[in-house]
């Protein structure tokens, strides 16, 4: 694979998190990154600050949007939420990986291009957090159970930390997406993430897409930071 082809492949796998509080900040980041980035994530912070219409704007500009809203409610509400996300123009959408929510999301998205992802265990949690929440399983065991349920139900993929990606890839097969937050370049501070990995390590372990926010959006030169991560990813994909 040529260097240019490897970089193109990396661009299809890197998702930049627009973890900012205003539309203007988000647009400034998108403008600064230009053609370097294809995928953007919109989560609660921007969505609740009036950023949901940006999904359509980005889609019309040829970008792809990962709408990270982690839906969890009664089945009918999840179905209607997924339908609304599709109308916005999202390419990926998260639901919490409870079986009823994943089934509802699959029904709503069937026949569409939307990839539904089941969030297994948040990358900001560790074993103590899980125990405090009342779970009797370890993180690896709970992640595995939820990933297997996602595969059986037939949604497009899961969200899991890079620590679990190597364990999950043989279980879910090559077709399902494994989207990994908590990606930090070597030497970067982990912030509020507890299960982190470098871009290269996450890809080697079986991740299909990497979500990176602060190391890019909070950088003094976001485009340079993005290019460095893309080059690291391209080295693995070559």
> What DSSP assignment string belongs to 75-128?
HHHHHHHHHHHHHHT-SEEEEES-HHHHHHHHHHHTTSSPEEEEE-S-TT--HH
CB 63 within 8 A of CB 34: no
Q: Which class for 140: exposed (0-12), middle (13-18), buried (19 or more C-beta within 10 A)?
A: middle
Kindly state the helix (H) or strand (E) to which residue 129 belongs, with its residue range: helix 127-132
The residue ranges of DSSP E strands in the chain, in sequence order, are 14-17, 39-42, 64-71, 92-96, 115-119, 157-159, 177-180, 209-212
CA 57 to the chain's CA centroid? 19
- 8-state DSSP, 137: S
167 conformational bin, left if phi > 0, alpha if psi -120 to 50, beta if neither = alpha
CB 10 within 8 A of CB 237: yes
Record the tokens describing residue 54, joined without a space: 């940006």
Q: List, by residue number, the catalytic residues.
A: 70
């Amino acid at each position: 694979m040529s260097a240019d082809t490897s970089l193109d492949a990396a661009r299809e796998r890197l998702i930049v998190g627009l973890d900012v509080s205003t539309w203007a900040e988000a647009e400034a980041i998108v403008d600064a990154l230009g053609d370097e980035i294809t995928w953007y994530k919109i989560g609660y912070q921007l969505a609740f600050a009036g950023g949901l219409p940006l999904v359509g704007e980005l889609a019309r500009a040829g970008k792809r949007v990962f709408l990270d809203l982690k839906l969890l409610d009664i089945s009918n509400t999840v179905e209607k939420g997924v339908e609304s996300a599709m109308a916005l123009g999202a390419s990926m959408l998260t639901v919490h990986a409870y079986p009823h929510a994943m089934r509802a999301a699959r029904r709503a998205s069937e026949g569409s291009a939307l990839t539904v992802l089941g969030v297994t265990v948040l990358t900001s949690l560790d074993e103590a957090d899980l125990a405090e929440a009342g779970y009797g399983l370890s993180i690896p065991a709970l992640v595995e159970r939820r990933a297997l349920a996602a595969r059986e139900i037939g949604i497009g993929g899961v969200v899991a930390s890079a620590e679990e990606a190597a364990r999950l890839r043989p279980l879910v097969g090559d077709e399902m997406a494994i989207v990994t937050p908590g990606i930090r370049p070597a030497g970067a501070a982990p912030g509020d993430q507890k299960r982190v990995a470098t871009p290269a390590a996450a890809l080697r372990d079986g991740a299909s897409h990497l979500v990176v926010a602060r190391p890019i959006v909070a950088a003094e030169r976001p485009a340079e930071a993005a290019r460095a991560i893309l080059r690291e990813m391209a080295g693995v994909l070559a």
